[in-house]
Structure 1
C-alpha cells in the first residue's frame, strides 16, 4: 500500500511532495506535438514580418515600425514562451521554485508589450484618419522609436514589479513540493494591463470608424470631375482607411484572445501551472501571436511579396532592400 502511494507522488522521498496529476499518454502527446507545431509556426511567420520590415526600405514607416515591435513580441512568444509552456504541462514541476517564477517573466513582458503596442497602433491610426494633414509631423520615425523603446522598458519594469512577491520568496504560494503556482495582483493587473488600454483602443477605433464612414459618404457624393490633387488625396485616404481596417482586425483578434487571461487576473486566482484550464487559457493567448502574421498575409499585399522574396532568397541580391514591394 505504501509503495502505491509513493508511486503517485512527484518526489516520494519528500514528505511534502505533490501528487502526480497524470493525464492519458495520447493527450500528452497531442499537447506536445500541437504546441511544438504552433511554436515553430509562430517563430517562422513572425520572423518573416521582422525581416520584411527591417530589410525593405519602402516598409520603413512609423506604422510598420509598430508592427515590427509587435512582431518581436510575438516572435519571443514562439521562441521562449511556448516551449516553457510545454514544460509546464508536465504533471510535476522539477526545475525548482526560482525557475517557476523566472519562466513567467518573459510571458508577462510579451503580454505587456503586445498591449502597449496595440494602444500605439490605435493612436497611429487615429491620427492618420482624423488628422491626416499633421500626421507626418505628429507621428515621426524618431517619436515612434522613442515610444517603442519606452514600451519595452516599461514592460520589463512592470513585469518585475507584478511578480515581485513571487521573486522575493519563490514558491511561497505552492501548497506542496513540485507545484508551480504564480500569484498575480488581480485588480492592479486587470486595470493597468487590460481595462485601461482596451478602453483606450475601443474609444480611438470608434472615433476612427465614425470618421471613416463620413469620409466614405463624402467620396460617394463627390462629383465625377475632380481635380488631380483631389484624386491623389482620395487615394491616400483610401490607403489609410484600408490600413485602419486591417489593424482593426488585428486589435479585435487581440482582445478576443487575451480576454480569458485577464479575466483570471481579475479574479485574483492562483494560476496552477500545468492544469487543463491554464493550458487552454495560455494556448488561446499564444494563438494571437501566430494569428497576427496570418492576418497580414490576407490583408497586406506587401507581406505576401516580401515573404516570397525572403523564401526564394532573393533578398541576398544586391540592392534588394530597394525593391518595390508596395
Structure 2
C-alpha cells in the first residue's frame, strides 16, 4: 500500500509535502508526449527556416519582413517552451524553483512581445494601405528594427516587474514539492492584462477595421479603372492588398489562439497560474506558433522558394544572399 502511494508522489522521500502525480493511462501519456514533441519539433524547424530566410536573403530585407522576423523569433522560443510542457505531462516539476520562475518569465515575455509585434504589423499594414505614398519614408528598415527591438526590451522589463515577487522568492507560492506556480498580484495582473492584451487587441481591431474599409474601396476602384490607368499603380495596389490579406490571416489566427489564454488569467482576484490548470490554453497558444510558418508557406511564394534553397544547402554557396527570391 505504501509502495503504491509513494508511486503516486512526485517526491516519495517527502511523504507529507510532495505533490501527487497526474495518474492517467499510459496510452494517454504517450499520445500527449508524441503530440507535444511533434508540435515542438515542427515549430522550431519551421520558424528557424523563417529566421534564416529573412536574415540571409537581401531581397527579403523589408520593414514588414523584419517584423515577421521578430514574430518568428518569438515563435521559435515558444517551440522550445513546449519541451517544459512535455516534462510536466505527469504534473511534476523536477527542475527547481528558480527554473520554474524563469519558465513563467520567458512565457510572459514571449506572449507580450508577440502581441506587441502584432500591433507593429497592424500599424505597418495600416500605413501601407491608407497612406501608400508616404509609406517608403515613414516605414523604413531601420525604424522597423528599432521598433521591434524596443518591443522586446519593453516586454522583458515590464514582465520582470510583473513577476518581481516570484523572481525574488522562487517557489514561495508552491503548494507542495514538485509544484510550479506563480502568483500575479491584483494590480500587476490588471496592468498586464490591459497593456499586454486589452490595449493591443483594441488597437489591432480598430486599425484593421479602418484598413478593411480602405482595402475594399481600393479593390472596387481597381476593378472600375480603365485601361488608360498606369499598370504599375494597379500592380502596386494589388501587391499591398495581397500582403494585407496574408498578414490578416496571421493576426486573426493569433487572436483566436491568444484570447483563451488571457480569459483564464482574468478569473479570480489573484491570478494563480499553475502549469496544470493552464495546460490547454498554453498549448493552444503554443500551437499558434506552429501555424504561422504554415500560413507563410501558403501565402508567401518567397518563403517556399527560400525554404527550398535552405534545405538543399544552396545558401552555403558564395553570393547566395543575392539570390532572386521575389
Tell me whether the two structures share a fold, i.e. TM-score over 0.5.
yes
> 183, 192, 197: which is aligned to 2:195?
192
Q: Does 1:115 align with 2:118?
A: no
Q: What is the correspondence of 1:283-298 to structure 2 with a 5 Å cutoff? A: 283-298=283-298
Count of matched residue positions in the alignment of Structure 1 and Structure 2: 320
1:60 alignment counterpart: 61
Instruction: State the SS of the aligned residue for 1:178.
Output: coil
Q: Report if aligned partners of 1:187, 1:265 keep a CA contact under 8 Å in 2.
A: no
2:221 alignment counterpart: 218
Distance in structure 2 (CA, Å) of the matches to 1:240 and 1:143: 19
Change (3 A) 1:318 1:97: closer
Instruction: State the Cα distance separating 1:93 from its structure 2 match.
Output: 1.8
Instruction: State the Cα distance separating 1:27 from its structure 2 match.
Output: 1.2
Structure 1: gaps of 5 or more residues:
none
Q: What is the correspondence of 1:1-326 to structure 2 with a 5 Å cutoff? A: 2=2, 4-14=4-14, 15-78=16-79, 80-184=80-184, 185-226=188-229, 230-268=230-268, 269-273=271-275, 275=276, 277-326=277-326
Distance in structure 2 (CA, Å) of the matches to 1:86 and 1:7: 19
Q: Deviations over 1:44-85 (max 9, x none)?
A: 11111111111111111001010111111111111x211112
Change (3 A) 1:7 1:291: closer
Q: Deviations over 1:110-165 (max 9, x none)?
A: 11111011000000000000001110111011111111110111111122112112
Instruction: State the SS of the aligned residue for 1:103.
Output: helix
Q: Deviations over 1:84-112 (max 9, x none)?
A: 12112233222222221112222111111
Distance in structure 1 (CA, Å) of the matches to 2:82 and 2:272: 20
Q: Report if aligned partners of 1:186, 1:267 keep a CA contact under 8 Å in 2.
A: no
Q: Please provide the CA RMSD for this pair.
A: 1.5
Instruction: State the Cα distance separating 1:28 from its structure 2 match.
Output: 1.2
Q: Deviations over 1:195-232 (max 9, x none)?
A: 10011001111111000111111112222332xxx321
Instruction: State the SS of the aligned residue for 1:325.
Output: coil
Change (3 A) 1:319 1:8: closer
TM-score between both structures, scaled by the size of structure 2: 0.94
Q: Report if aligned partners of 2:162, 2:189 keep a CA contact under 8 Å in 1.
A: no
Higher mean C-alpha deviation, range 16-25 or range 188-197:
16-25
Q: Report if aligned partners of 1:189, 1:265 keep a CA contact under 8 Å in 2.
A: no
Instruction: State the Cα distance separating 1:240 from its structure 2 match.
Output: 0.5
TM-score between both structures, scaled by the size of structure 1: 0.94
Distance in structure 2 (CA, Å) of the matches to 1:247 and 1:96: 40
Distance in structure 2 (CA, Å) of the matches to 1:20 and 1:139: 52
